[in-house]
A and B are shown apart, each in its own frame.
Chain A
Amino acid sequence: MNTTPDVLVLWQWGPITLNATLLWTWLVMALLVTVAWWLGRNLSSGVQISRGQAFLESLLVLLLRQIEDVSQQKPRPFLPFVGTLFLFVATSNLLSIIPGYIPPTASLSTTTALALCVFVAVPMYGIQRQGVAQYFRQYLRPSVFMLPFNIIGEFSRTLALAVRLFGNVMSGRMIIGSLLVVVPFFFPIIMDLFGLLTGMIQAYIFAVLAMVYIASATQAQPPSPPSPPTSPTT
Chain B
Amino acid sequence: MTTLGLIASVSIFTAGLTIGLGSIGPALGEGRALAQALQSIAQQPDEANTITRTLFVGLAMVESTAIYCFVVSMILLFANPFWNYVLTQAAKTVGK
Q: Are A3's CB and B78's CB within 8 A? A: yes
Any A CB within 8 A of the CB of B33: no
Q: Are A171's CB and B56's CB within 8 A? A: no
Given the complex of chains A and B, what is the CA–CA distance between A97 and B35 in angstroms?
32
Residue of B with least CB distance to A70: B53
Any B CB within 8 A of the CB of A205: yes
Any B CB within 8 A of the CB of A31: no
Any B CB within 8 A of the CB of A127: no
Given A163-B67, A167-B67, A168-B67, answer yes or no on A174-B74 (Cβ-Cβ < 8 Å): yes
Among A1, A164, A170, point to the contact of B60 (Cβ < 8 A): A164
Q: Which of A144-170 contact B (CB under 8 A)?
A: 160, 163-164, 166-168, 170
Residue of A with least CB distance to B67: A167
Chain B window 54-88, contacts with chain A (Cβ cutoff 8 Å), 1 for yes, 0 for no: 00110011011101101100110011000000000
Residue of B with least CB distance to A108: B71
Any A CB within 8 A of the CB of B9: no
Q: Are B64's CB and A164's CB within 8 A? A: yes
Q: Are A163's CB and B60's CB within 8 A? A: no
Given A3-B79, A201-B56, A204-B56, answer yes or no on A171-B61 (Cβ-Cβ < 8 Å): no
Q: Are B57's CB and A209's CB within 8 A? A: yes
Q: Using Cβ atoms and an 8 Å threshold, which residues of chain B touch A57?
A: none
Any A CB within 8 A of the CB of B50: yes
Given A69-B50, A69-B53, A204-B56, answer yes or no on A232-B70 (Cβ-Cβ < 8 Å): no
Any B CB within 8 A of the CB of A50: no
Given the complex of chains A and B, what is the CA–CA distance between A202 and B49 in angstroms?
18
Q: Using Cβ atoms and an 8 Å threshold, which residues of chain B touch A209?
A: 57, 60
With an 8 Å Cβ cutoff, the count of chain B residues facing the other chain is 18
Q: Are A171's CB and B70's CB within 8 A? A: yes
Residue of B with least CB distance to A167: B67
Any B CB within 8 A of the CB of A208: yes
Given the complex of chains A and B, what is the CA–CA distance between A10 and B89 in angstroms?
29
User: How far in angstroms is the closest Cβ of chain B from A176?
Assistant: 14
**Most-contacted residue by chain A among B57, B60, B74 (CB, 10 A):** B60
Q: Are A163's CB and B53's CB within 8 A? A: no
User: How far in angstroms is the closest Cβ of chain A from B37?
Assistant: 15
Q: Are B71's CB and A166's CB within 8 A? A: yes
Among A171, A174, A204, point to the contact of B67 (Cβ < 8 A): A171
Given A3-B78, A234-B64, answer yes or no on A167-B70 (Cβ-Cβ < 8 Å): yes
User: How far in angstroms is the closest Cβ of chain A from B65?
Assistant: 8
Given the complex of chains A and B, what is the CA–CA distance between A114 and B78 in angstroms?
24
User: Can you give 16 contacting A-B residue pairs, CB < 8 Å?
Assistant: A2-B78, A3-B74, A3-B75, A3-B78, A69-B53, A164-B60, A167-B67, A167-B68, A167-B70, A170-B71, A174-B74, A205-B57, A208-B56, A209-B60, A212-B57, A234-B65
| A residues at B contact (CB < 8 Å) | 1-3, 66, 69-70, 160, 163-164, 166-168, 170-171, 174, 201-202, 204-205, 208-209, 212, 232, 234
